[in-house]
Amino acid sequence: MPLNRGLRTANLAKKAEFYTQLSVIEEELKHYKSYFKNKIVYCNCDDPRASNFFHYFSYNFEKLGLKKLITSCYKNQNRDLFSQNKSEKAIYLEYEGDKNKNKVPDVEEIGVKNLVSDGDFRSEECIKILKKSDIVVTNPPFFLFREYVSQLIKYKKKFLIIGNMNAISYREIFKLLKENKIWLGASIKSGDREFGVPKDYPLKASGFRTDKHGNKYIRVKGVRWFTNLEISKRYENLELYSKYSSKKYKKFDNYKAINVDKTIDIPINYKGLMGVPISFMDKYNPKQFEIVDGIGRYSMLHGPTKATRGKYLTEIKGKKIYARIIIRHKKL
Do 155 and 268 fall within a single domain? Answer: no
* Mean pLDDT value across residues 167-195: 92
Together in a domain, 278 and 184: no
Residues 111 and 143 in one domain: yes
| Residue 307's pLDDT band (cuts 50, 70, 90) | confident
Measured CA angle at 222 (ends 229, 256), to 5 deg: 85
Residue 183: which of 30, 69, 287, 43 has the closest Cα? 287
Is residue 89 scored above 80 in pLDDT?
A: no
The DSSP result for 36-74, as a single string, is: -TT-EEEETT--TTT-HHHHHHHHTHHHHT-SEEEEE-T
Is 190 in the same domain as 245? no
Domain boundary among 200, 233, 266: 233
Query: What is the SS3 assignment for 286-327?
Result: CCCEEEEEEECCCECCCECCCCCCCCCCCEECCEECCCEEEE
Same domain membership, residue 284 and residue 220? no
Verify that 149 and 27 share a domain, yes or no. Answer: yes
Judged on CB neighbours under 10 Å (0-12, 13-18, 19+), 306 is exposed
Contacts of 102 by beta carbon, 8 Å cutoff, 6+ apart: none
Query: Looking at residue 231, what is its pLDDT?
Result: 93
Q: Are residues 222 and 241 in the same domain?
A: no
pLDDT score at 216: 79
Domain that holds residue 147: 3-233
Model confidence at 203, in pLDDT bands (50, 70, 90)? Answer: low
Are 162 and 224 a contacting pair, CB within 8 Å? yes
In a shared domain, residues 96 and 225: yes
pLDDT tens column, 17-72: 678 889 999 999 999 999 999 999 999 998 776 789 999 999 999 999 999 999 99
Q: How far apart are CA 39 and CA 41, in angstroms?
A: 6
Domain total in the chain: 2
pLDDT, one tens digit per residue, over 99-114 is: 888 888 888 888 888 8
Q: At what angle do helices 145-154 and 171-178 cross, to 10 degrees?
A: 40
In the predicted structure, residue 80 carries a pLDDT above the cut 50: no
Q: Which of 185, 205, 233 is the last residue of a domain?
A: 233
- Is this structure's pTM higher than 0.85? yes
pLDDT bin (cut points 50, 70, 90) of residue 88 is low
